[in-house]
Amino acid sequence: MTERLVRAVALALSWPAAAWAACEVPATFPAGSRVESQDYALGYRTVPPKIEIGKHFSVEAVVCPKGNAALPKSLAVDAQMPEHRHGMNYRARVSSQGEGRYRADGLLFHMPGRWRFVFEVEGAARRERLTKDVVVE
């Protein structure tokens, strides 16, 4: 493998541990991919990085507790189109990767426009809803 590819693989494999330790969005995540609630900070990225209309994609997320909050019990990932008052035609399958890291597979945006990611974090005390708008063309 080339040196550049080896560095890219090393970065991809190391992002969860680095993100968890400092509760920061990893450098491999795009700018503006952090959202916060009262008890949690969440950073995410899509795989592939560019969402294409009509093609499945995944979301990788790191959920970090703030203050005295505990690690989340679970994470649900969905998306809606606020202007059209509908969501996706598919339900994401979310799997825990351990220590506040999650992967959601099977997302699909079937039309262009403004979509709102909805992340529901199940904490020890309550469920918190974090949202982030993205425009897909």
Q: What is the pLDDT of residue 31?
A: 86
Phi then psi dihedrals of residue 22, to 5 deg: -105, -5
Token pair of 36, please?
Answer: 């916060």
Phi then psi dihedrals of residue 6, to 5 deg: -60, -45
Domain coverage including residue 17: 3-136
Q: What is the pLDDT of residue 129?
A: 97
| Regions of the chain with pLDDT less than 50 | 4-22
130 within 8 A of 78, measured Cβ to Cβ = no
Q: What is the pLDDT of residue 93?
A: 98
Q: What is the pLDDT of residue 24?
A: 63
Instruction: Give pLDDT tens digits for 45-73.
Output: 999 999 999 999 999 999 999 989 999 99
CATH classification at residue 8: 2.60.40.3340
Domain count, the chain: 1
Q: What does R_g of the chain's alpha carbons equal in angstroms?
A: 15
Q: What is the pLDDT of residue 133?
A: 97
Q: What is the pLDDT of residue 118?
A: 98
